[in-house]
Amino acid sequence: MKQKIAIRPAEIAEEKSKTLLKDFFDEVGLITKFAGHFFKEVFRSPIEFKETLKQSYMIGNKSLLLVGITGFIMGIVLTIQTRPSLVQFGATSMLPALDAEGIIKEMGPAITSLICAGKIGSGIGAELASMKVTEQIDAMEVSGTKPFKYLVVTRVVATTVMVPLLVIYSDFISLIGGYYATNLKDSVSFHLFFSEVYESIDFTDVFSATIKTFFFGFAIGLIGCYKGYNSSRGTEGVGESANSAVVISSLLVFVIDMIAVQITSFFK
């Protein structure tokens, strides 16, 4: 008689962890290869300038209202939550400076980029995935058009350029929200509030906060295009590509932000 081999739960868990680890490194390798293909194509002619401008306009225009509303609310919430702590120390005059430090250095870039990951990343992933499953990308290859350059390079460049602009716009709207929230309890002139904001930040703060947003935009565009361009499994893959694009790009925003903070603190 054949003896049945009992599989222990610990062995099953170990096997699953090995499989997950292998899948993770496989995915990292494929994304790295996809990024290498992007850098190879981005400098080759012909340059799809018109399509890049079109994608930049669509990304910026469609995200402007959402980013503006979120930024305004973010400035109000930060000011209202911070004021009671400053009142205890009699330091309410520091509220504009604190708003500027929190919004420009961290909250503005991170939260705005997460919003862009949810809206732009999912949109790109779903759009390219639907083109993939309906064989439009294959048709472009057959007709002699370079689909990677036309679809991927233009969108990644557009997100890399537009996300920093959206962050700057969001920062300004957030500071206006902070100004209105400050005037709910105190009476501060617009000129005085923004004079305090201007004096509290320096070029290094603005430069480091702006530079990392280019990496945020690049990661959002790259992951959205990667997931959409390599979609499969028919219409089911469209939703899966959009969902995974949001999850991975949001995670990358946090990882890049953590690295940027460590580098910035090292030079101070």
88: left (phi over 0), alpha (psi -120 to 50) or beta: alpha
- Interatomic CA distance for residues 221 and 72, integer angstroms: 25
- Give the pLDDT score at 13: 67
Q: Specify burial of residue 47 (Cβ count, 10 A radius: 0-12, 13-18, 19+).
A: middle
For residue 230, the SS3 value is: coil
Q: Is the pTM of this model over 0.85?
A: yes
Positions of the chain with pLDDT under 70 = 1-14, 16-18, 233, 268
DSSP state of 44: S
Q: Specify burial of residue 96 (Cβ count, 10 A radius: 0-12, 13-18, 19+).
A: buried
The CB density around residue 268, as the number of other CB atoms within 10 Å, is 6
Q: Specify burial of residue 11 (Cβ count, 10 A radius: 0-12, 13-18, 19+).
A: exposed
- Give the pLDDT score at 1: 46
Domain boundaries, the chain: 63-266
Q: Are 220 and 116 in contact (CB under 8 A)?
A: yes
Torsion of Cα atoms, 121 then 124 then 129 then 135, to 10°: -170
- Give the pLDDT score at 12: 67
- Interatomic CA distance for residues 4 and 130, integer angstroms: 47
- Give the pLDDT score at 33: 93
